Chains A and B, each alone.
Chain A
């Protein structure tokens, strides 16, 4: 790195270091007090029984053993993994498809790009409220529209599987625009000569997609897959507003269950234990993702 090779007098170096510490200190203080300290405390609190306002009681791994026999916890864990496993690949595929269709100078291209991105900038709460009204199984517009083509009515609210489907659809609505923009940028990074050269070699569009387009999208895909997993593991706003985890615990995920335990049921220790499990699970999944992406293309960083 150029920075480390640079030479300087000891006094100047000390001034430089002091300035650096001054500039990073506000962040370090906030990170220390509101990130590092809480991260340690979470593990401590998760070993306590802190029901209600009474004093905390030391229970060791008690909260964790309680989790093992908690049906809602297992439901939430399976939902969390399933939610990520469905929404991340679907979101990537849809984002890529839209990006490819809107990469060329087609009619109304800029308007359509804007429309696809709009849901990204609105709050999860507003998006969830809109969806809750649209998916109302008695008077909502989704069932009305399905009725026009002779389908449904679908029990979006009372059937576990359909409720989960509504959560997935809402997540895709909110997220597809982001994937589209990242893929558009990646598509524009592929040199035009590659396409010309492969066309001269007689490649058809399917072959071009496989041998020119897809390899050029590797970095963007790895980034979006990792970012998508991080986001879907923290899912809260959309689900909390749209279904509240219901019906029953059909759409409950670890993010909503941890909040409900810690703040609605005031079981701070139990809620923290769920948070710790969520964190460890995310680390495992991300490690696997890193390992796969390294193995696929070892030359990429």
Chain B
């Protein structure tokens, strides 16, 4: 993760007795946080172990912390009896299209609010940011009725469009562009560059770090989203993975190997993306908290 300057007190100035106490304290702290890490990792490990166990063993309470043998039957049940591959595909398409659309419109919107002058700027910005606190449950009934009116039930658009304007993304982009000096844009204007040329040739190349963070977070939100797709997608062939998992839970109430196999397959892409792009996750979270 991020490289950090050390914030620990300088030990060399302390007497030997204190130094020893500090060492013991540090060891205790390490044991505590390492124990916590084991607890944190255990549910994911247990999902993995369960997915390769047999239902009969689990039901009999006959299991250990390590799998005795690896059985792939849970995975085959998920693929043979359910349109699991279709759900996977739906999730991929929705997440990818949503990322492309959402990130594009939010980045240019954040830029406009941060760097361009226009009447109503402040009011509109406050209005947009204030939508951050509206819970999903407040809007879901009329949102669904509007989507139904548009004929978007069971479609990708029904899931993607209502969530494409993301106040968090706009705010994040706004903060980013506030940190870029006006002179760059001003110089291009003096050279006679049009406003849209400035966006294309100066603003976008500068925004790569911003775009990377937004792409990753938007992908995660859309990939994991549950309540809204649950409302919009009625036909089981249109489900995304989280909605499909709920269906799985209803069908295979106690078939834990199949349930965990399905869960594992649904979280693996996200876990992989996180491990590869960890830097951007941390950067995004850290910035959101400091501003």
A residues adjacent to B (C-beta < 8 A): 2-4, 6, 8, 12-13, 15-17, 19-21, 23-24, 26-28, 30-31, 33-35, 37-39, 41-42, 45, 98, 101-108, 110-119, 121-127, 129-134, 138-139, 141, 144, 173, 176-178, 181-182, 184-190, 192, 195-196, 199, 205, 208, 219-220, 223-224, 230, 233-234, 236-237, 240-241, 254-255, 258-259, 262-263, 268, 271-272, 274-276, 278-279, 282-283, 286
Task: Please name the residue on chain A nearest to B101 by beta carbon.
Answer: A26
B37 interface contact, C-beta 8 A:
yes
CB of B95 to closest CB in A, whole Å: 12
Q: List B residues 2-33 near A (Cβ within 8 Å).
A: 2, 4-10, 13, 22, 26, 29-30, 32-33
25 contacts between A and B (CB under 8 A): A26-B164, A27-B128, A34-B162, A38-B143, A38-B146, A42-B138, A42-B139, A101-B29, A112-B34, A117-B274, A122-B270, A123-B241, A125-B263, A126-B242, A126-B263, A133-B259, A139-B61, A176-B40, A195-B9, A223-B289, A237-B226, A272-B141, A272-B142, A283-B133, A286-B133
Task: Please name the residue on chain A nearest to B22 by beta carbon.
Answer: A205
B155 interface contact, C-beta 8 A:
no
Q: With a CB–CB cut-off of 8 A, which chain A residues contact B134?
A: 35, 39, 279
- What 8 A-B pairs are tightest by C-beta distance, nearest first? A185-B286, A182-B289, A41-B142, A123-B224, A19-B195, A38-B142, A30-B165, A17-B118
Q: Which of A19, A31, A275 contacts B128 (CB 8 A)?
A: A31
Do B135 and A275 touch across chains, with their CB atoms under 8 A apart? yes
B179 interface contact, C-beta 8 A:
no
Do B285 and A181 touch across chains, with their CB atoms under 8 A apart? yes
Task: Please name the residue on chain A nearest to B36 by beta carbon.
Answer: A98
Task: Please name the residue on chain B nearest to A267 by beta carbon.
Answer: B141
Most B CB atoms within 10 A — which of A21, A23, A34, A131?
A23
- The stretch of B78-86, B108-116, B205-213 that contacts the partner chain: B108-116
Q: With a CB–CB cut-off of 8 A, which chain B residues contact A205?
A: 9, 22
Do B34 and A108 touch across chains, with their CB atoms under 8 A apart? yes
Q: With a CB–CB cut-off of 8 A, which chain B residues contact A234?
A: 135-137
Query: How distant is the Cα of A7 from the Cα of B162 in the complex, in angstroms?
Result: 38
Mostly, the B contact residues are helix
Do B5 and A186 touch across chains, with their CB atoms under 8 A apart? no
Do B186 and A106 touch across chains, with their CB atoms under 8 A apart? no
Do B286 and A182 touch across chains, with their CB atoms under 8 A apart? yes
Do B32 and A101 touch across chains, with their CB atoms under 8 A apart? yes
CB of A294 to closest CB in B, whole Å: 17
Do B4 and A188 touch across chains, with their CB atoms under 8 A apart? yes
Do A118 and B271 touch across chains, with their CB atoms under 8 A apart? yes
B188 interface contact, C-beta 8 A:
no
We find that the number of chain B residues with CB closer than 8 angstroms to chain A is 106
CB of B57 to closest CB in A, whole Å: 10
Further contacts, 10 of them, CB under 8 A, given A185-B286, A192-B7: A23-B199, A31-B128, A41-B145, A121-B270, A124-B242, A182-B289, A185-B290, A186-B289, A196-B10, A220-B289
Do B226 and A275 touch across chains, with their CB atoms under 8 A apart? no
Most A CB atoms within 10 A — which of B113, B263, B287?
B263
Q: With a CB–CB cut-off of 8 A, which chain B residues contact A30?
A: 105, 161-162, 164-165
Q: With a CB–CB cut-off of 8 A, which chain B residues contact A121?
A: 220, 224, 270-271, 273-274, 281
Do A20 and B117 touch across chains, with their CB atoms under 8 A apart? yes
Q: Which of A6, A38, A192, A274 contacts B6 (CB 8 A)?
A: A192
Task: Please name the residue on chain B nearest to A230 by beta carbon.
Answer: B133
B249 interface contact, C-beta 8 A:
yes
Q: With a CB–CB cut-off of 8 A, which chain B residues contact A33?
A: 146, 162
